[in-house]
Structure 1
Amino acid sequence: MFAVLASLAVFASGQTQAMPVIVPQPLSVKPAEGHFTIKPDTVIAAGKDCEAVARTLQEFLRPATGYALDIHGRGGKNAIVLRLKEKKERGPEGYSLKVSNDQIEIEANAPAGLFYGSQTLRQLLPVQIYRKAPVAGVEWTANAVTVEDSPRFRWRGGHLDVCRNFMPKEFVMKYIDLLALHKMNVFHWHLTDDQGWRIEIKQYPKLTEVGAWRKNTMTKYSPAEYTNKPAGGFYTQDDVREIVAYAKERFVTVLPEIEMPGHSQAAIAAYPWLGNDPTKQLDVATKWGVIENVVNVEDSTIKFFQNVLDEVMDLFPGSFIHIGGDECPKVQWKASEKAQAKMKQLGITDEHGLQSWFISQMDKYLDAKGRRLIGWSEILEGGLAEKAALMVWLGDDGAMQAVSSGHDVVMAQNSSTYFDYYQSKDKDKEPWAIGGFLPISKVYAYDPVLPKMTDEQSKHVLGVQFQCWTEYIRDPKYAEYMIFPRACALSEVAWSSKANKNYDRFMAGLPTHLERLAGLDVNYRKLDPPTPPPAATWKSGEMSEQFQTKTWDVTRSIDGAGTYNVEFQYTGGAHRLDIEWAEILQNEAVVARDAHKGTTGARDQGNDYTFRIPSVAAGAKFTLRASVRTDEGNDSNGEIRVSRR
């Protein structure tokens, strides 16, 4: 009912005007009577302080309309007016937009707000405005409306891994365009990993001469399958400068990630003295997963990465530099006499503390250069460097630990923001993915501010971003399929006020928005038909590493005698769920049992259970009972679905 009412605005005259579909949803949208049509003689009125955004808007409108709108210093009728005017409550990225019969006005405190207002204006026009060539027979009309808008979070990001599978520069630029379209302002560029070093470093040419190329590429993990073809690529520093400048014009900050001390086999392959066994010549990694080859902790290695960061800082002007810090096995440090000697010298008691020391060297170095370090959840191990920020990809504990100690966080939890996860439970009909299940509904439901955070702690939540890891995502079209439309949902998580989020309204408008993406040649995944809610769920913290018997009420899913399928489906978290057996109880008596081992997580195997219910008593209560456990921790979330066969 809400979605229906929200789709119309009713006026005293009895006329109605459709509520425009704007993604992400603004703070306030008030339709009015009338409309404005862009014509060949329409002008863009902008003062000198607005000229850059005016040129961007001119280029937004030119291809589909065929109009080269003039940019003038003064406006009037038949004009799109861009104006900077201070209004404290809308902040540096907020804007006001008013469409009337005579003109369109976009007003903001700063150019970024004008840019976001221009993006909203595009969405008020016919969807053909996103086409790259003139479209005949279309009136470029925007209905009268007043929009007031500003973002909920200052960090609204999208991540792209170009190490596992290299992505061409042209796609990186398209990716930035798509982020900007959704009012996202951080492009997290994952540039180095075990399987490839993708950025030119002048002082260390072998990083790209050797580290950017591998002999083979894994296409499936278990059982392992490979392409049996070499692969690679890298971006020159000129490429990087071009991409950073392109992003800046769209008010997107590029966040570079240089992985250390783990995920560094490509660097070690290029310079073996970085490894814990300098006599061993490694190849650039060809398999996925967590690899034990990590860099050593000698002073020369610290200096190497600081030299690399110097060149990175010259290319990337943003305040943050990402140093990875995740999934660093300690096996080689435990076996290394030099690493153990370093620990003794520093008075460090374990290898987690050694990693913390390594990260702190980078933190101090970046701080001295006026930059801030950010890293993945694992940089908490052994203590977080004083000024470091945390990018939270694991459960809630790390986020709470960080904000409780006054550290800033960016929420990027795998259970809600990892777009390399499957979009459907029918995985046989989907392209190969790393595992998991992350439907658009779950992305939309995500709230980066955790319920247990106090108001003061929530101030340390800089924002949120999605991740696109590319182990199995081989090319740009594959990436687009995995990212969209889930990124549309996350844009509302990042931008829209919590009070304005409404999943029904969002889904009702999404088909229109997907037409816009089609005009931009985005290979988005088509929407699924509506599905009923799960019969039951399990959540992080509810399970144990030891098998325990758990029960769930499934009465509403049993509608008569017959054969039923029960599926345990992991949806997120760091740990899979294992099942020993399951049974159905009718009024506390076992009526059906299926005893086989199943698992659901990164890979699903045997996670479907079949039950034959011979009869159903009137008013009976049905309970699912199962012996379950989580593997190596209790951070597991999932759904239980019951269907009649």
Structure 2
Amino acid sequence: MAVGTNPDRVGMRFRLATLLLPLLLAPGWARAQAPAAQPAAATASASVIPQPRRWQPGEGVFALDSGVSVLAPRDARSREIAEFLRRSLADDHGLWLTAGDARTGRVIELRLDAAIGGDEAYRIEIAPQRVTLSAAQPRGLFWAVQSLRQLLPPGRAARIELAAARIDDAPRYGYRGHMLDVGRHFMPVDFIKKQLDLLSYYKINTFRWHLTEDQGWRIEIKRYPKLTQVGAWRTEADGRRYGGYYSQTQIREVVEYARQRNIMVIPEIEMPGHASAALAAYPELSCRKQPIEVPTSWGVFEDIYCAGDESTFEFLQHVLDEVVALFPAPYVHIGGDEAPKARWQESASSQQRMRAEGLKNEDELQAWFVRRIQRYLAGKGKTLIGWDEILDGGLGRDAIVEVWRGEEPAARALRNGNRIVVASPFYLDRANSDLSLEKLYRTDFAAGPGFAEHAAQVLGAEAPLWTERVTPRNAETLLYPRLLAFAENTWSGSGDYAGFQHRLGEHYRRLDAWQVSYGPESADVASYRVERDPVKRLWRVHAQRGFDDLRIHYTTDGNEPSATSPWFADTLELIPPGTLKLTAFRHGRAYAHSRAYTLVSHLGLDRAVSYSLPAHPRYRGNADTATLSDGVLAGDDHADGRWTAWNGGDADVSVDLGAPTRVSALSARFLQQAGSWILPPRALQLSTSDDGKHWTPRAELALDVDAADLRQRILTPRLALPQPLRARYLRLHIQSYGALPTGHPGAGSPSFYFVDELVIE
């Protein structure tokens, strides 16, 4: 997934939030860190998430203490589940229950009962002398254990009383998934295990591991060592070598950890697009056969696997051979999305492939590519899953389609006979302020055209987390509590939000005990507004906090804030320039990435700025013209409120220095993000004036702009006067790049140019 269109019609998968639809099955949980000791609860709290289908209270209580025995059927998986229960009770509450065969005394009995319908269905019966957990299959038995755990109050206790009750439960959908993108930002194994613990606790049964991307190849393939030697690493703008990968031993470890917790792990190996990291390692797999770098920016990249070369398929088949040996799940996800066809159009071998196969266009060539991989996977006993682009050009009905582009691809997949999974309403990289907990909870993802007629093809839903701007530091603020709402939506439906909120209150205590850095329900963790006060001649920072107990720690020397750095709650005033860094802390740990602001002083600071052409209404800074002379430099996010933009047309930007002033140069900052239609200007001209009416050109600069360069970067051209002079007014004439060139996805449309601070020397 990536930016592939102009910034006014944002085309990222996480921006597209309209959709519907579902998929299959899985299992999981363990090693939660126990909270501080608490007295035993007199009554068990009915705070189960997802909400069970039926709940019938009984009479009396069951006393849970170390005198209770755990009984289980003799099969290996049931005994494994019983041991998981024992260890969980020890970790969570300090209660070590005995494992035995005694049928007398107080017992928790796990029982396999074929009369309980459904692979994941279960029953819990709590009576004064016995707790019985029943299911037809071990999968259901494990979910019964997880529900029993949730019935117990947090904290250590020598004795806990469970109110008598009967619970009968089963999920609405068999596929309840979470996808984690580790390609853009690598996530350590311990972090992934922690998430598997939480997914399992809330009965999310599928973990889809997005292991390859343009920005990083994360899985060891022994036959092709350069995939991890080269493709797993990138050189960031500051020179850092960044990346990482999972050894095959680690992959097996994670898959086994998930299996024990009832979770199926599905690998995603992207093809034919989003393959830059692989092509950086093995450029011969591309159509141009030219070396490329592992990208450091986000977007859609032109270089993809070359469909005309047999060596491409030899490579992919060897890779898949090693992948399927590591993942016992019956599915392999191949991505299949956002694959530009320009390289195939210029490739002799790809064009020859089209002629040989009788294909009319490059969309049909991609469909042929997908079907060939599908046949290979079928020969390995695996079913192919792909994003809904795999429908374009024709698709066999055996593939599973993951829908992200809206109702039309969903309806088309259902008509074609494909099973589907719905993802787009649940993109968790969307801000909490955009996709609130309540909005996610109430989403009816299977209400679109054709769903009722093809209900059996709707397998479930998935909540992806794309990581362009996500690392382990802030991931949990986006995952939780929204994954709890997603779990209930896909398991039991979304009809009782008030009840869910009531139960969620109890679960916040559990999340706190497990040191989960969950986010606010409908706000961002922290957002900032930095403004210049021209009267007091200082910068003022306003913080909007998602939690009342959040502290904003800061530094002014560019160093990373720590929990011991000075802090403020709502407002901070600063006088000297420098590099300001802000980090939100809660419960003594960082809750979000640092936000850096470079504050600069120059001759144009606080001076009036005017434009000859109105700025784009969506991108005109925080206060119209103020951002070009407020001394606050914009970052690399075009939508951060600090950039001023124009969409086509040349503009004159004039600065009134207030009085004749000795000046020697002017520099401006321009953003390049070609995948989002943002290009620097073609040329700049600097003029001066004494009266603001009569202008004298002083310096010119032509910029060499490559519209095919998809790197995200900031250019800072500097126009120096032949010699210093005195002037009151300066004017920068900006010549737009103009229409996007042939070969660009937006060819013919006017490009944007984004401008920041005019620094006058």
What's the TM-score once normalised by structure 1's chain length?
A: 0.74
| Aligned ranges 1:270-309 → 2 under 5 Å | 270-278=281-289, 280-297=290-307, 298-309=309-320
Question: C-alpha offsets along residues 213-241 of structure 1, whole Å, 9 cap, x if unaligned?
Answer: 1111xxxxxxxxx5542211111111111
Count of matched residue pairs: 496
The 3 A distance-change label for structure 1 pair 497 and 481 is closer
| Aligned ranges 1:374-393 → 2 under 5 Å | 374-393=385-404
| Aligned ranges 1:284-363 → 2 under 5 Å | 284-297=294-307, 298-363=309-374
Is the Cα–Cα contact under 8 Å of residues 89 and 95 in structure 2 kept in the other structure? yes
Shift of residue 25, structure 1, vs aligned partner: 0.7
The 3 A distance-change label for structure 1 pair 439 and 350 is same
Distance of 1:27 and 1:520 partners within structure 2: 27
| 2:208 pairs with one of 183, 188, 192 | 188
Q: In the alignment, does 2:48 pair up with 1:22? A: yes
Distance of 1:282 and 1:353 partners within structure 2: 27
Shift of residue 447, structure 1, vs aligned partner: 2.2
Shift of residue 70, structure 1, vs aligned partner: 1.3
The 3 A distance-change label for structure 1 pair 59 and 602 is farther
The 3 A distance-change label for structure 1 pair 411 and 345 is same
Q: Which amino acid aligns with 2:492?
A: S
Q: In the alignment, does 2:524 pair up with 1:504? A: no
| 2:273 pairs with one of 250, 262, 268 | 262
Distance of 1:108 and 1:286 partners within structure 2: 49
Q: In the alignment, does 2:437 pair up with 1:408? A: no
Aligned to 2:490: 494
Question: C-alpha offsets along residues 348-368 of structure 1, whole Å, 9 cap, x if unaligned?
Answer: 111111111111110011112
| 1:109 pairs with one of 115, 118, 136 | 136
Q: Which amino acid aligns with 1:525?
A: G
Aligned to 2:729: none
Distance of 1:317 and 1:473 partners within structure 2: 29
Distance of 1:602 and 1:366 partners within structure 2: 41
Distance of 2:181 and 2:370 partners within structure 1: 22
Distance of 1:285 and 1:18 partners within structure 2: 53
The 3 A distance-change label for structure 1 pair 76 and 453 is farther
Is the Cα–Cα contact under 8 Å of residues 17 and 31 in structure 1 kept in the other structure? no
Shift of residue 313, structure 1, vs aligned partner: 0.5
Is the Cα–Cα contact under 8 Å of residues 108 and 131 in structure 2 kept in the other structure? yes
Percent of counterpart pairs with the same letter? 40
The 3 A distance-change label for structure 1 pair 247 and 229 is same
Q: In the alignment, does 2:443 pair up with 1:446? A: yes
Shift of residue 21, structure 1, vs aligned partner: 1.1
Is the Cα–Cα contact under 8 Å of residues 598 and 605 in structure 1 kept in the other structure? no
**SS, match of residue 408 in structure 2:** helix
Shift of residue 64, structure 1, vs aligned partner: 3.2
| Aligned ranges 1:4-23 → 2 under 5 Å | 20-23=46-49
Distance of 1:235 and 1:506 partners within structure 2: 37
**SS, match of residue 420 in structure 1:** coil
| 2:478 pairs with one of 457, 482, 486 | 482
Shift of residue 66, structure 1, vs aligned partner: 2.4
Distance of 2:179 and 2:165 partners within structure 1: 34
Q: In the alignment, does 2:421 pair up with 1:418? A: no
Distance of 1:596 and 1:211 partners within structure 2: 41
Shift of residue 283, structure 1, vs aligned partner: 1.1
Aligned to 2:741: none
Deviates more, 1:338-347 or 1:256-265: 338-347
| 1:245 pairs with one of 256, 263, 268 | 256
Aligned to 1:160: 180
Aligned to 2:59: 33
Aligned to 2:515: 521
| 2:111 pairs with one of 69, 73, 83 | 83
Is the Cα–Cα contact under 8 Å of residues 183 and 210 in structure 2 kept in the other structure? yes
Question: C-alpha offsets along residues 581-604 of structure 1, whole Å, 9 cap, x if unaligned?
Answer: xxxxxxxxxxxxxx9854499948
Is the Cα–Cα contact under 8 Å of residues 288 and 471 in structure 1 kept in the other structure? yes
The 3 A distance-change label for structure 1 pair 454 and 254 is closer
Question: C-alpha offsets along residues 428-479 of structure 1, whole Å, 9 cap, x if unaligned?
Answer: xxxxxxxxx21111211122312422544111011111001111112x2411
Q: In the alignment, does 2:168 pair up with 1:148? A: yes
Is the Cα–Cα contact under 8 Å of residues 161 and 468 in structure 1 kept in the other structure? yes
Distance of 1:79 and 1:316 partners within structure 2: 37
**SS, match of residue 438 in structure 1:** coil
Q: Which amino acid aligns with 2:51?
A: Q
Deviates more, 1:337-346 or 1:402-411: 337-346
Distance of 1:365 and 1:175 partners within structure 2: 32
Q: Decide which structure has the larger Cα Rg and report it.
A: 2
The 3 A distance-change label for structure 1 pair 464 and 75 is farther
Aligned to 1:176: 196
Aligned to 1:123: 150
Distance of 1:257 and 1:47 partners within structure 2: 36
Distance of 1:454 and 1:238 partners within structure 2: 41
**SS, match of residue 48 in structure 1:** coil
**SS, match of residue 421 in structure 1:** coil
Q: In the alignment, does 2:470 pair up with 1:473? A: yes
| 2:231 pairs with one of 195, 208, 211 | 211
Q: Which amino acid aligns with 1:364?
A: R
What's the TM-score once normalised by structure 2's chain length?
A: 0.63
Q: Which amino acid aligns with 2:306?
A: N
**SS, match of residue 489 in structure 1:** helix
Distance of 2:387 and 2:522 partners within structure 1: 33
Aligned to 1:365: 376
Is the Cα–Cα contact under 8 Å of residues 27 and 497 in structure 1 kept in the other structure? no
Q: Which amino acid aligns with 2:500?
A: F
The 3 A distance-change label for structure 1 pair 19 and 522 is closer
Q: In the alignment, does 2:71 pair up with 1:45? A: yes
**SS, match of residue 454 in structure 2:** helix
The 3 A distance-change label for structure 1 pair 602 and 318 is farther
Shift of residue 329, structure 1, vs aligned partner: 0.8
Distance of 1:83 and 1:172 partners within structure 2: 31
Question: C-alpha offsets along residues 563-587 of structure 1, whole Å, 9 cap, x if unaligned?
Answer: xxxxxxxxxxxxxxxxxxxxxxxxx
Shift of residue 17, structure 1, vs aligned partner: 7.8
Q: Which amino acid aligns with 1:419?
A: L
- Which stretches in structure 2 are left out of the alignment for 5+ residues? 1-41, 524-613, 620-636, 644-676, 678-744, 747-761
Distance of 1:249 and 1:263 partners within structure 2: 32
Runs of 4+ in 1 over 6 A off after TM superposition: 16-19, 604-607
Distance of 2:92 and 2:421 partners within structure 1: 37
Shift of residue 99, structure 1, vs aligned partner: 1.4
- Which stretches in structure 1 are left out of the alignment for 5+ residues? 1-15, 129-134, 217-225, 425-436, 530-594, 608-630, 634-645
CA RMSD of aligned residues (A): 2.4
Distance of 1:203 and 1:596 partners within structure 2: 54
Q: Which amino acid aligns with 2:431?
A: Y
Question: C-alpha offsets along residues 340-383 of structure 1, whole Å, 9 cap, x if unaligned?
Answer: 12111211111111111111110011112211000011111111
